[in-house]
Amino acid sequence: ASEDGKLSCGYSSFKGRRPTMEDRYDVKFAKMKGQSVSLFGVFDGHAGALAAEYLKEHLLDNLIKHPQFLRNPKLALKTTFLKTDADFLESVTTPYREDGSTALAAVLVGDQIYVANVGDSRAIALKGGKAIPLSDDHKPNLKDERTRIENAGGGVSYDGFTWRVDGILAMSRAFGNRSLKNYVIAEPDIQTQIYIRHAHEE
């Protein structure tokens, strides 16, 4: 439960078919200027766990420290995602590391939920028994994404199973992925949703 006792959360993770666990998550509750803030992050790593681990350790903390966080959460999310990606790439001193990660952050400020997404992790809201998507997958075959990648000098191809950037990555945006960084960006798409508190949360 959160520090003010009004929000409960749970989480679960399990290793898939890869030999090691490359996924991470982070949950934070904070009081800022008298206001309760809840932050949740899911980071689906690939080509190693370095990027996902870095995001777990830094992304939400960096967001809380952003000077515009309470006043303009969308701006704070966008600039924090891009800066944290640059910081991660600078932090990796081992040559030839291509670790990357999706990032999906859900931030509750007052009665407003902000969901920032990079990659193909997904967020949904449940309203009246109906699932409402709060994120859209960043896939290379989407028209706007493909155009952006090709204009930046990259290529998009189908390998018989899925669309990939330069025949490598099955998403068009990600943290890390150093050799693809010119066109596999960490700029998030952000959606908002009103959070309706239930009687038992009051």
Q: What totals of helices (H) and strands (E) does the chain contain, helices first?
A: 3, 11
Shared-domain flag, residues 40 and 124: yes
How far is 172 from 195, CA to CA, in rounded Å? 30
Contacts of 192 (CB under 8 A, 6+ apart): 74, 112, 113, 114, 115
Shared-domain flag, residues 120 and 46: yes
Shared-domain flag, residues 74 and 132: yes
Alpha helices in 14-104 (DSSP H): 50-65, 73-91
Q: How many domains does the chain have?
A: 2
Predicted pLDDT at 1: 47
Shared-domain flag, residues 74 and 109: yes
In a domain, 178, yes or no: no
Q: How far apart are the first and last CA of the chain?
A: 13
Predicted pLDDT at 58: 98
Shared-domain flag, residues 44 and 132: yes
- Which amino acid, residue 8? S
How many C-alpha atoms does 78 have within 13 Å on its Cβ side? 6
**This prediction's pTM:** 0.90
How far is 13 from 173, CA to CA, in rounded Å? 23
Shared-domain flag, residues 54 and 73: yes
Predicted pLDDT at 87: 98
In a domain, 163, yes or no: yes
pLDDT tens-digit profile, the chain (202 residues) = 455 556 777 777 767 677 777 889 999 999 998 888 999 999 999 999 999 999 999 999 999 999 999 999 999 999 999 999 999 999 999 888 999 999 999 999 988 999 999 999 999 988 888 999 999 999 999 999 999 999 999 999 999 999 999 999 999 999 999 999 999 999 999 999 887 665 444 4
User: Which of 47, 41, 97 minimizes the C-alpha distance to 64?
Assistant: 41
In a domain, 71, yes or no: yes
How far is 161 from 167, CA to CA, in rounded Å? 11
Predicted pLDDT at 180: 97
Shared-domain flag, residues 143 and 87: no
Shared-domain flag, residues 143 and 86: no
Shared-domain flag, residues 38 and 132: yes
Residue 88 burial (10 A CB sphere; 0-12, 13-18, 19+):
buried
Q: Which residue has the tokens 């809840």?
A: 38
In a domain, 13, yes or no: no
Reduced to 3 DSSP states, what percent helix, strand and coil does the chain have, rounded to the nearest 5? Answer: 25, 30, 45
Predicted pLDDT at 4: 53
In a domain, 3, yes or no: no
Predicted pLDDT at 6: 64
| Residue numbers of the domain that contains 72 | 23-137+185-201
Shared-domain flag, residues 109 and 163: no
Predicted pLDDT at 63: 97
In a domain, 90, yes or no: yes
Shared-domain flag, residues 131 and 152: no
- Which amino acid, residue 190? I
Shared-domain flag, residues 111 and 122: yes
